[in-house]
Amino acid sequence: MATTAGRPSRVAKLPPRERILDAAEELFQGEGIRRVGVQAIAEKAETTKMAIYRHFETKDALVAEWLRIVAADYQAAFDRVEAEHPGRPEEQILGLARFIAEGLPGISYRGCPFINSLAELPDRAHPARQVIERHKALQTRRLVAMCAAAGLPDPGQAAAEITFALEGAQVSTQNGSVDRVGERLMTIVEGIVDRHRGR
């Protein structure tokens, strides 16, 4: 086990399951799901393949659990903007857009975990792909509800346009095709809300 100046490494201080998930996240994000094997995850987590299989029945199950954690972080962003702007759905929508805009620098070099994973998981029955699809469906329902609460006449259409803007901003950041993406994203989302309110 790796040490620093005779002390256990930071990785070694974490519980085994957390070490495995942290290692998997770093490797999946940096190298892709298909290219990363269980042995590489074990080495990164300073554990063994056998230990990984004690916590996760298969590599697919590990991928799905990693994406569940990522999805929970995004859903927590909805919770935060609702708590920060109670009874002000328009501010909640803009707060959600701001959350995405502020996360764009990380995407610029690692990419969106959902977009990257979908590209590697063409099988709709794959458990990790199902995690993504359920997350995206829930995200859409919550955004439609915000648009309805904001009094937008066609909340489904408004939510679709906002979703296209949010996801398009992530792709454009990843491929470097547009500058000042966060700033432009906020302007676009504000414009969508204003237009749907007829202002």
Query: H or E stretch including 72?
Result: helix 59-84
As annotated, the residues of the chain forming the CATH 1.10.10.60 domain(s) are: 13-56
Over residues 25-48, the mean pLDDT reads: 94
Strand ranges (DSSP E) for 93-188?
Answer: none
Other Cβ atoms less than 10 A from the Cβ of 9: the count is: 12
**More reliable by pLDDT, 16 or 148:** 148
Residues 194 and 199: their CA atoms lie apart, in Å, by 5
Chosen CATH of 60-196 out of 1.10.357.10, 3.50.50.60, 2.60.40.420, 2.40.128.110: 1.10.357.10
Cα 180-185-187 angle, rounded to 5 deg: 100
Query: H or E stretch including 171?
Result: helix 155-175
Rounded to two decimals, the pTM is 0.85
Residues 9 and 19: their CA atoms lie apart, in Å, by 11
Question: What tens digit of pLDDT does each residue of 117-142 get?
Answer: 999 999 999 999 999 999 999 999 99
Lowest mean pLDDT among 8-22, 45-59, 162-176: 8-22
Over residues 96-100, the mean pLDDT reads: 96
> To the nearest whole number, what is the mean pLDDT of the chain?
91
Q: Which fold has domain 13-56?
A: Arc Repressor Mutant, subunit A (1.10.10)
